[in-house]
Amino acid sequence: MARTHRPRLHREGCKLCQMCRYLCPDMAIRMEESGGYMVIDLRYCKGCGVCAAFCPEGVIEMVREDQGERFSGEGGSGSVRSA
């Protein structure tokens, strides 16, 4: 089934707790090699929303694939890295 939403991670509020990484069922999230920020690999993400639901800082939001519309998560404007 096609993914309808994708996660958007706002790095400026991320505390690097790695909760999202541990909970992602598709192992699509990793810490960047330098350890400075988290990276979501959208090639493996199925858009389940677990990372956004459980991020204790609320810095992952789910946006629609087609509209970029926000439907959950706190987040704010900011840089996004989804490699």
Whole-Å CA distances, 62 to 13, 35, 36, 67: 16, 24, 22, 11
In the complex, the smallest distance separating the C-beta of residue 1 from ligand SF4, rounded to whole angstroms, is 13
- Please report, as ranges, the residues that interact with ligand SF4 according to CB under 6 A: 7, 9, 14-20, 24-26, 28-29, 38, 40, 45-51, 55, 57, 59-60
In the complex, the smallest distance separating the C-beta of residue 53 from ligand SF4, rounded to whole angstroms, is 8
Q: Please, is 9 exposed, middle or buried when counting C-beta atoms within 10 Å of its C-beta (0-12, 13-18, 19+)?
A: buried
Which DSSP symbol is given to 13? Answer: G
Residue 17 or 36 having the CB closest to ligand SF4: 17
Tokens found for residue 76: 């704010």
